[in-house]
Chain A
Amino acid sequence: MKIQRKASSGTMQSSDLMVVVEPSETLQIEIESTVKKQFEHLIRAQITTTLEHLGVQTGRIQISDRGALDYAIAARIETAIKRSSEE
């Protein structure tokens, strides 16, 4: 899948995250998280895995996380990417 336009998903509720994706020539992942110190590497790994699974190679991915679990991260990323690649 390819990021065609700016799109978002998720919320700023506790245990959730907000994802904003937009087109970019490179892959940029920007993470803001209340648990950034402890878990940034795991969040990044989860995002990377999800993007690989969806076949996304480029784009700017901004996330604002409030301690979401892996499956929530995957679901929110997938939703935002699908929204951004819809015709």
Chain B
Amino acid sequence: MIDPSTLREARALIEAQGLRFETNIDDLVGLYENGQMIGCGARKGYVLKMLVIVPDHQGTGALGELVTRLILSGMAAGHETLFIYTAPQNASSFQALNFRLLVTQGPVALLEHGPGIEAYFNAHSSDITPGQNGAIVVNGNPFTWGHLHLVETAARQVDHLFLFVVREDLSAFPFDVRYRLAQEATAHLENLTVLDTSRYAVSAGTFPSYFLKHMDRVALAQMSLDIRLFAQRVAPRFHISSRFVGEEPLCPTTAAYNRVMSEVLQEHAIRWVMVPRLPAGGSAISATRVRTALIQNDFKTLETLVPPSTLAFLQSSAAQPIADHLRAQMSGDRS
């Protein structure tokens, strides 16, 4: 718990610097001199936020002090790698603290501290094969015939296909289930590797509004940053020259994401391929429809939407808590 008077002090400091104060944080650190707060910073998960040093204390080592505390706080919470968003002109202050620049997009620079993206690449170095490779990023919440159709179509067009499953655990189906179902459904494809995105695609760090499903200027900027990170850092390492997406008639966030993606990838000479949806029972297959059918215990419909591996999971007792949670969410939405 952060005590209210500290919160008030921090809020005044942050707003005085023209930043927006966010209350959804895990930790808040204040820096004091003679009882006066001269700087503060917050952490939400692995993202550092709202770092402020009052102007007359800048360049005094105050930032180093703040960042030390926040790194220790992150580490205690199990986060070895920490992200920070800042203005590009401030990036060098963080680079001097061993943060590394991941990507810059308009008025925002994203940097990280810790093992980070290099450790992610090293962990997957044995999966990397040269050639004209392709990539798909899916949440797979859960994995459907539609996903499989997209994956099979893409696999035929490339030397090797990397299927990235969104690592972030903010969906109805937990990551380990989504990852396993993606692996099981695609096990027959020899030129395919299933990988986790870590934090480097569609994560709460790179694209938080994906999980909120709202659409505004901020969401569009986040999408653009997320895709730039993929195009500039991830794609070159995995020799990815094509990215495949499913056509998106239902979800406005994903549809907008696809639009931004086609523009940004073109800038980076990465081929962008949209694969039309597979229709089932008169309308397109989507994970949303799967979740609705699951809520209604409608296994006849589920059979037409998901491959046997996913169906087996949905029929198992392990899927019960997920179905119950979805039901509770739905009745919550109605009330």
CA distance A20 to B79 in the complex (A): 12
B64: chain A residues at CB < 8 Å are 11-14, 16, 66
**Alpha-carbon gap, A13 to B75, bound state (A):** 18
Q: B116: nearest residue on chain A (CB-CB)?
A: A32
A interface size (C-beta, 8 A): 17
Question: What residue in chain A is nearest B72 (Cβ atoms)?
Answer: A8
Residue of B61, B68, B97, B98 most packed against chain A (CB within 10 A):
B98
The answer to the question of B71 belonging to the interface, with a C-beta cut-off of 8 Å to chain A, is: yes
- A20–B75 contact, CB under 8 A? yes
- In angstroms, Cα B95 to Cα A18, docked, is 15
Residue A49 lies at the interface, judged by CB distance under 8 Å to chain B: no
Distance between Cα atoms of A69 and B113 in the complex (Å): 22
Q: Which residues of B contact A8 (CB under 8 A)?
A: 72, 75
User: When the two chains form their complex, are residues A12 and B115 in contact, meaning their CB atoms are under 8 A apart?
Assistant: no
B99 → chain A closest CB, angstroms: 9
- Whether the pair B68, A34 counts as a contact (CB closer than 8 A) is no
Residues of A within 8 A of B71 (CB): 12, 18, 64
The docked-state distance in angstroms from the alpha carbon of A34 to that of B94 is: 11
Q: A17 to chain B: closest CB distance in Å?
A: 9
Please, what's the 1-or-0 string for A49-79, where 1 marks a CB less than 8 Å from any CB in chain B? 0000000000000101110000000000000
Interface pair A34/B75, CB less than 8 Å apart: no
Give residues of chain A (1-56) contacting chain B, Cβ–Cβ below 8 Å. Answer: 6, 8, 11-14, 16, 18, 20, 30, 32-34
Of B65, B72, B98, B113, the residue contacting A66 (CB under 8 A) is B98
C-beta contact mask, B306-325 vs A, less than 8 Å → 1, else 0? Answer: 00000000000000000000
**Can you name the residue of chain B whose Cβ is closest to the Cβ of A17?**
B98
Q: Does B96 contact A (CB under 8 A)?
A: yes
- Give the residue of A6, A12, A62 whose beta carbon is less than 8 angstroms from that of B67: A12
Inter-chain CA distance A11–B64, complex, in Å, is 7
Contacts of A62 in B (CB 8 A): 80, 114-115
Contact at B98–A65, with CB atoms within 8 Å? yes
Q: Tell me the smallest distance from the CB of A60 to a CB of chain B, in Å.
A: 10
A16: B residues at CB distance < 8 A: 64
Known A13-B61, A14-B61, A30-B115: A66·B68 in contact at CB below 8 Å: no
**From residue B68, how far is it (CB to closest CB) to chain A in Å?**
4
Partner of A34, one of B80, B96, B113: B96
**Distance A64 CA – B64 CA, assembled complex (angstroms):** 12
Q: Are B98 and A64 in contact (CB under 8 A)?
A: yes
- Cβ contacts under 8 Å, B95 to chain A: 34
Complex Cα–Cα for A6 and B80 (A): 12
Q: Specify which of A6, A13, A20, A33 is in contact with B98 (CB 8 Å cutoff).
A: A33
Q: How far is the CA of A64 from the CA of B67 in the complex (A)?
A: 12
Contacts of A12 in B (CB 8 A): 64-65, 67-68, 71, 97-98
Task: Report the minimal beta-carbon distance from B84 to chain A, rounded to whole angstroms.
Answer: 13
B35 to chain A, nearest CB (A): 22
CA distance A10 to B137 in the complex (A): 39
A66 touches B115 (CB 8 A): no
* CB-nearest residue of chain B to A30: B115
* A32/B68 in contact, CB under 8 A: no
B75–A66 CB distance below 8 A: no
Query: What's the Cα separation between A8 and B71 when bound, in Å?
Result: 11
Q: Are B68 and A13 in contact (CB under 8 A)?
A: yes
5 tightest A-B CB contacts, nearest first: A13-B64, A12-B64, A12-B68, A11-B68, A32-B98
